[in-house]
Amino acid sequence: MTPVAKKPKAEKPQQPARPNRGRKIVAENRQVPYKYHVLERFEAGMVLSGTEVKALREGRAILRDAYALIKAGEAWLLNCHISAYSHSGYAGHDPLRTRKLLLHREQINKLRGRVEEKGLTLVPLRLYFKNGRAKCELALAKGKKVFDRREEARRRVLDRETEQELKRYR
């Protein structure tokens, strides 16, 4: 038998890295950038019941008025509305119940110190699934004053006008 030369394997083209690979965003709190200065972000797991997980997979969550607290060394998510699962029977869940957040002890201690000391607040930015597990992205934030919001709106208008002027002269 004569040896047969092997063909070189064709290389697969590399796809660009996607930042949300393996993530399914369920709900976002779009008011946060307008109302708060976001200082730091944290990822926390959530303790949920079965019908809550299924309702989240259907995209039935609202974060508009939600916030987080640190009580007795534990993090809690309040006012997060997770609607009832469409196929649940009598054993549903309370849509506005307080849900426990899963963070490391060092993170909880750090957040408790910052919230108590500097008057900052914890607001949820988004709920999503990461590798099949429900996660909540929390932000350590400082509330914007009315004049901050007005100044930001003015800056956006000025930036838009300068871009239009630059396009006209190109």
Neighbours of 37 (CB within 10 A): 14
- Render pLDDT for 7-41 as a digit per residue (tens, 0 to 9): 666 665 555 555 556 678 888 999 888 888 899 99
In this predicted structure, the answer to whether residue 54 has a pLDDT above a threshold of 80 is yes
CA pair distance 109, 103, nearest whole angstrom: 10
Asked, for residue 89, whether it belongs to a domain, the answer is yes
Structure-model confidence comparison of residues 6 and 145, the more confident one? 145
Name the one residue in this structure whose structure tokens are 């426990």.
100
CATH code for the domain of 92 = 2.40.280.10
d(CA 18, CA 120): 32
Asked, for residue 124, whether it belongs to a domain, the answer is: yes
Residue 70 domain flag: yes
Tokens in use for 79? 């006012």
Is 7 within a domain?
no
